[in-house]
């Protein structure tokens, strides 16, 4: 059974992490609890996460809102009616246009069923998602954390989380990903919530702008 967190146990898990890690305790003391970041299990959510790959969160949200404005409802059927030019007018790059349309086709064909992912363990969800064109580990991590609320995911490919961890833990700039993954094991089985504390720190300190929702 995969461990999940809920709105009702979220603060208690933050407290448990803070009791075991003074650096996380300092985040809670200075900035309070992180928001309960979550997203529905939908095509629109996966499109949003794909749009967020390697761009600012603000520009991804802008593209998502353009698509919703044009389509009224962001569904696989409606999205596939858009031409490449119309997708470009919604600020969607040629590469991401391909990824999103491929995703729409896999959902319509039944190759991927989002509801079935809700009861699968992390590794099975990840395998299903990364098998799709345009979805890598970062996208799978965000989906596991925000949509399925799996409690023990550390997204090593997320720059905000990595940079926040380096600052909070006072790590050298050249600390390797392998070293950070090893350090994050201290937060098991709640690495997702520890990451949300790191994001909360990242967004709360000056000069870090953006919203993780």
Q: What is the pLDDT of residues 118-155, one digit of tens each?
A: 999 999 999 999 999 999 999 999 999 999 999 999 99
pLDDT higher than threshold 80 for residue 206 = no
Average pLDDT on 162-188 reads 95
Scored b (16 or more CB within 10 A) or e, 192-211 reads bbbbbbbbbbbbeeeeeeee
Q: What is the DSSP letter of 34?
A: P
Backbone angles phi, psi at 154, to 5 degrees: -120, 110
State how far Cα 2 lies from the chain centre: 18
Per-residue pLDDT of 66-105, as tens digits, reads 999 999 999 999 999 999 999 999 999 999 999 999 999 9
Q: How much is the pLDDT for 211?
A: 45
Taken in order of first residue, the domains within the chain and their CATH numbers are 10-36+152-204 (1.10.1670.40), 43-147 (1.10.340.30)
> Could you read off the pLDDT of 27-80 as tens digits, one per residue?
999 999 999 999 999 999 999 999 999 888 899 999 999 999 999 999 999 999
- Give me 213's structure tokens: 């929702």
CB-hemisphere CA count at 13 Å for 158?
A: 25
| Tokens (6 digits) for 175 | 């600390």
- pLDDT value, residue 83: 96
pLDDT tier for residue 205 given thresholds of 50, 70 and 90: confident
Local structure of 186: helix, strand or coil: helix
């Amino acid at each position: 059974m995969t461990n999940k967190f809920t709105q009702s146990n979220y603060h208690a898990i933050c407290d448990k992490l803070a009791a075991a890690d003074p650096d996380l305790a300092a985040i809670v003391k200075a900035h309070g609890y992180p928001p309960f970041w979550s997203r529905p299990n939908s095509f629109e959510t996966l499109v949003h996460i794909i749009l967020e790959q390697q761009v600012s969160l603000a520009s991804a949200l802008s593209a998502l809102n353009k698509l919703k404005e044009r389509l009224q409802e962001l569904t696989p059927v409606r999205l596939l009616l858009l031409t490449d030019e119309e997708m470009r007018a919604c600020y969607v790059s040629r590469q991401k246009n391909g990824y999103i349309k491929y995703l729409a086709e896999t959902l319509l064909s039944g190759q991927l069923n989002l509801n079935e992912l809700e009861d699968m363990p992390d590794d099975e969800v990840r395998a299903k998602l990364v098998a799709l064109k345009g979805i890598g580990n970062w996208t799978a991590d965000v989906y596991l954390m925000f949509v399925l609320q799996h409690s023990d995911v550390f997204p090593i490919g997320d720059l905000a989380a990595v940079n926040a961890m380096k600052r909070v833990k006072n790590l050298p700039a050249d600390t390797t990903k392998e070293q950070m993954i090893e350090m994050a094991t201290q937060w098991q089985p709640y690495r997702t919530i520890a990451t949300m504390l790191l994001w909360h720190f990242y967004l709360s300190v000056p000069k870090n702008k953006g919203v993780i929702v």
